[in-house]
Chains A and B, each alone.
Chain A
């Protein structure tokens, strides 16, 4: 409809700016690398991640087991690559769930205020009163054990933070003259929220989202440990870490690789998020 007549945000501008930032490119590279690993897992020439071997229990990295083997003789490299699927999905999809539920709720609460705000905010307070992991466990247990349900549970548990954050940002931006200006030229609530408020509150949301990716990957690990996430024996980085912590001194490689992978992915998302935030802001050169 009307949007067509207004020149769209130039995607090439965002991309151009993103390309000029080395940090953002590094982030993109890291994230892209792990995504590629996850996607290509079935075709890569690697061992079966589930195949156990009684002769190769906790072997250090060698020619046969490039990253070593775990406590029941499975190839760590293969499990790392297959586990990337579960972990990345747990990280990204649950954050997406949190964003897509939390941001609209926070937007509505902050924008309309009054009773809507009271109801949403009290609900958020109640959710925030519960520890993140406990709530995720309770939700996952309620939904039934599976990776999908774990992602939903993590996403919903992370949601209240996004409601809070969004609402606070909306309250700040709402008082800007340009928002009242938008009202005075006769724009509707949807237009004002989507074109005037949302784009101006994106930066803190991106930062929060990239940080939450890390929390979600770890949370998935905890749920797997309790049998509520990725179902054993299928691998995820979190569940690998969980097992590895029992053998930290005997077989450190079991913990190092998944730990490093989570660390790298989180750094990657952070760098990418920072770059994206700058690239989306027309004020940044």
Chain B
């Protein structure tokens, strides 16, 4: 049978100031009916440009696409824009990464799905509504009867992605192109969306082209895989074969760099990621971080009964009608040189916890002791001094540095402000700090935009290191980085921990990374810690149902284990918004093992 989509020698070039620059070179692959092909690669590999080229969505003035793109025997590159418009949304449907912005907020969800049916299928309004209901049920949106007349803002991210899928399927496309459709979603929701795409594909027999950076997702969904590296297709083959016996060094490197859940079984200490040479694929294991935690000391950070809420709404008298219970009665200790990870899904309060302990948001209740400071009751001058002990690194390396300050200014600023050094001494210290994070001191006079994401994250780390902090709150600090860079930055954090005995409050949703770097783990759900304990206990013997679900949902980069672990379910994360008179439940805890506690009621 002829493939639905056949791409031959696709080369895409963009016009730059220095002439034409090819960003995708000589890429060829087929997608058959009922088959899922994944294009996988790191940022800059050209995977998204490939999908945009297929759809003809690149600006013809600034780009040049050559080769053959055959959809059911028609070469798309020879079609006019008018003909392409008929193909897009009809024969080829797309879903994109950002479900929060891809729906029109002023129309109901039902109307937006119905629109596609009326436009492409020529249905009447009544028929379109019936079909919309059927589609919403097919993408497993609960209570479709009532939700059809709701607006996008009333849907969660996962549910919106289901709506997007329903819209994509409305025209019964031959080919579905999914560009990172689960990247913005929480891990439990991601699993459900992947399952949904697979089920719908089986029902409808369409071809799926799946673009992703996540090897775990590839293993989960793809029949065949195309690995891209800096614009070239380096390897193509059956997914099982690519995972079992990768031929190209880059594929081997990529697979070696992916953190795998469960790889830490039997390890006593946080383990550095192996050094992977992206050119040769050579893997050099790195030592564990042994004995960074001082035995029997007092905690450097102690949190007792922390409560942080944000008021929402206002009644006639301007009083809030309710509150987001972002953090509810959270307690934990963090010791010198230790990494405690806070894990959970979006909205569980892990970031707010991190910000509360540094008083970047004002907690309502609780006691926080950080390096001897009573954080909640500090005079302004003491609060400034406290800032030297507790620091924060943010998630998005592209927004965490002031674009108008040079790297030197950025790194020097806290040192100078706190009077630790000035003048030439400050400059020398900046050079030393940059060296510590693996950047040449000569970069001091450059601006952040000249650096890659990984380098920027190193700069952010250098900046906070200048104050010799005892505790660093790392809020999803490696989540936005490519796998190879992620490993390097994690290793840097672990090096610094070993050398400087820094304690990390490591906030992350990435269970595989958490397993690698943590001494202890706290699982958060709806503002509360539901389980806390040593890393091997949490992963080896998870007690709370939510912990179990969270671990089970992580896609494993191993196609042989595909789909074995998950029961099909449709969940929405619950909302932590409560009415004003809400009284939080009193919780009971059980001790499962040494230091391993779980909420039982």
Contacts and interface: CB of A to CB of B under 8 A. Distances in A.
A and B pair up: yes
Interface in A1-53: 2, 4-7
B360 A177 contact: no
Interface string A174-206: 001110111111111001000110011000000
Interface string B57-97: 00000000000000000000000000000000000000000
Given A5-B412, A7-B409, A200 B403 contact: yes
Contact of A2 (B383, B387, B388, B422): B422
B400 A181 contact: yes
A4 B423 contact: yes
Interface stretch (B248-256, B459-467, B564-572): B459-467
Nearest to A185: B414
Contacts of B412: 5-6
B505 interface: no
Interface string B365-391: 000000000000000000111011001
B399 A184 contact: no
Contacts of B383: 186
A114 interface: no
Contacts of B464: 184-185
A186 B387 contact: yes
Interface residues of B, number: 41
Contact of A183 (B360, B400, B413): B360
Contacts of B405: 195
B417 A200 contact: no
B518 to A, nearest CB: 22
A110 to B, nearest CB: 17
Contact of B400 (A177, A187, A199): A177
A176 B445 contact: no
Contact of B406 (A4, A7, A176, A283): A7
Contact of B358 (A177, A184, A199): A184
Contacts of B402: 178, 182, 195-196, 199-200
A184 B401 contact: no
B287 to A, nearest CB: 31
A131 interface: no
Contact of B413 (A180, A184, A187, A281): A187
A135 B423 CA distance: 50
Nearest to B425: A5
B396 interface: yes
Contacts, number: 91
Contacts of A184: 358, 360, 387, 391-392, 464
A185 B417 contact: yes
A191 B395 CA distance: 23
Contacts of A233: none
B449 interface: yes
Contact of A186 (B417, B421, B422, B445): B417
B78 to A, nearest CB: 38
A36 B145 CA distance: 74
A276 to B, nearest CB: 14
Contact of A199 (B394, B404, B408): B404
B396 A177 contact: yes
B269 interface: no
Interface string B419-450: 00111001100000000000000000101010
Given A6-B413, A184-B358, A200 B404 contact: yes
B416 A2 contact: yes
A261 to B, nearest CB: 35
Contacts of A187: 413-414, 417
B447 A180 contact: no
Residue from B355, B383, B395, B413 whose CB has the most chain A CB atoms within 10 Å: B413
Given A177-B399, A195-B405, A283-B449, A5 B423 contact: yes
B310 to A, nearest CB: 14
Range of interface residues on A (Cβ < 8 Å): 20 to 34
Contacts of B418: 186
Nearest to B403: A283
Nearest to A191: B417
A74 to B, nearest CB: 50
A30 B460 CA distance: 43
Contacts of A185: 387, 391, 413-414, 417, 463-464, 467
Nearest to A180: B360
A2 B400 contact: no
A191 B422 CA distance: 17
Nearest to A10: B445
Contacts of B414: 185-187
A283 B414 CA distance: 23
Contacts of B360: 180, 183-184
Contacts of B387: 184-186
A141 to B, nearest CB: 39
B392 A6 contact: no
Nearest to B404: A199
A178 B388 contact: no
Contact of A181 (B384, B388, B392, B406): B392
A124 B135 CA distance: 50
A148 to B, nearest CB: 35
Nearest to B460: A181
Nearest to B410: A178
A6 B421 CA distance: 11
A71 B423 CA distance: 66
Nearest to B444: A7
B246 to A, nearest CB: 36
Nearest to A187: B417
A185 B410 CA distance: 11
Interface of A: 2, 4-7, 176-178, 180-188, 191, 195-196, 199-200, 281-283
A-B pairs, top 8 by smallest CB distance, nearest first, are: A186-B387, A282-B447, A185-B414, A177-B400, A199-B404, A177-B394, A5-B422, A184-B392
Given A178-B399, A191-B417, 13 more contacts: A5-B426, A6-B426, A7-B408, A7-B409, A178-B403, A181-B394, A184-B360, A185-B414, A185-B464, A186-B385, A282-B403, A282-B404, A282-B447
18 contacts: A5-B426, A6-B412, A6-B426, A7-B408, A7-B445, A177-B396, A178-B403, A184-B464, A185-B387, A185-B467, A186-B417, A187-B413, A187-B417, A191-B417, A195-B402, A199-B404, A283-B403, A283-B449
